[in-house]
């Protein structure tokens, strides 16, 4: 199993009972790495999470990345870790009331996992000229994000989804320092 799938599996494993999680099906092309398929599904994101306590739907793209930065595509022709169609999909879903859309990025070398709302990601795109970002870019440009608490197990991490679901509302109004600790 690749590192990204392991991250997704661990992330979902610790979901609270009140959260209904749906993984969007992967295209056949991504399993066989085949170039022979003429058409393949391009999912707008990886997961939908329904928080039944406050009737909020989450549209989330999960990425696991070695290194201290992650690349993204500004156009359909670019190559990056966060794909253009995923950014478009998160923007569409994030435009609806009651939907929180964004990226969850595990920076494996930093042992840190963050959530960035798609609206804050768009702000980042408007203030940086490059096609990748790191935590310093977020901090320097005063972009809100949340650090999701994680506990190191023997070889994987346990992610605190309760914290994520309880604290993402009002992220723009809270002290960023309290969310980054």
- Reply yes or no on whether the pLDDT at 171 is more than 80: no
Convert the pLDDT of each residue in 30-41 to its tens digit: 444 445 555 556
What band does 22 get if pLDDT is binned at 50, 70 and 90?
Answer: very high
Convert the pLDDT of each residue in 93-145 to its tens digit: 999 999 999 999 999 999 999 999 999 999 999 999 999 999 999 999 999 99
Burial of 98 (0-12, 13-18, 19+ CB in 10 A): exposed
CATH number of 3-180: 3.40.1350.10
Quote the pLDDT of residue 167: 87
Question: Mean pLDDT, to the nearest integer, of 4-17?
Answer: 92
- Global pTM value: 0.84
Domain ranges in the chain are 3-180
> In the predicted model, what is the mean pLDDT of the chain?
87
């Amino acid at each position: 199993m690749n590192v990204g799938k392991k991250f997704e599996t661990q992330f979902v494993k610790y979901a609270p009972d009140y959260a209904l999680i749906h993984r969007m099906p992967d295209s056949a092309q991504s399993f066989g790495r085949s170039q022979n398929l003429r058409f393949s599904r391009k999912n707008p994101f990886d997961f939908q999470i329904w928080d039944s306590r406050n009737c909020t739907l989450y549209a989330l793209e999960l990425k696991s990345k070695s290194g201290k930065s992650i690349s993204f595509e500004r156009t359909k022709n670019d190559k990056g870790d966060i794909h253009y169609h995923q950014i478009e999909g998160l923007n569409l879903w994030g435009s609806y009331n009651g939907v929180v859309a964004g990226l969850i990025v595990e920076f494996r070398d930093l042992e840190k996992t963050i959530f960035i709302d798609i609206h804050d990601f768009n702000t980042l795109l408007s203030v940086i000229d490059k096609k990748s970002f790191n935590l310093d870019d977020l901090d320097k440009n005063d972009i809100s994000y949340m650090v999701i608490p994680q506990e190191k197990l023997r070889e994987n991490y346990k992610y605190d989804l309760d914290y994520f679901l309880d604290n993402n509302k009002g992220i723009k109004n809270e002290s960023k320092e309290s969310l980054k600790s």
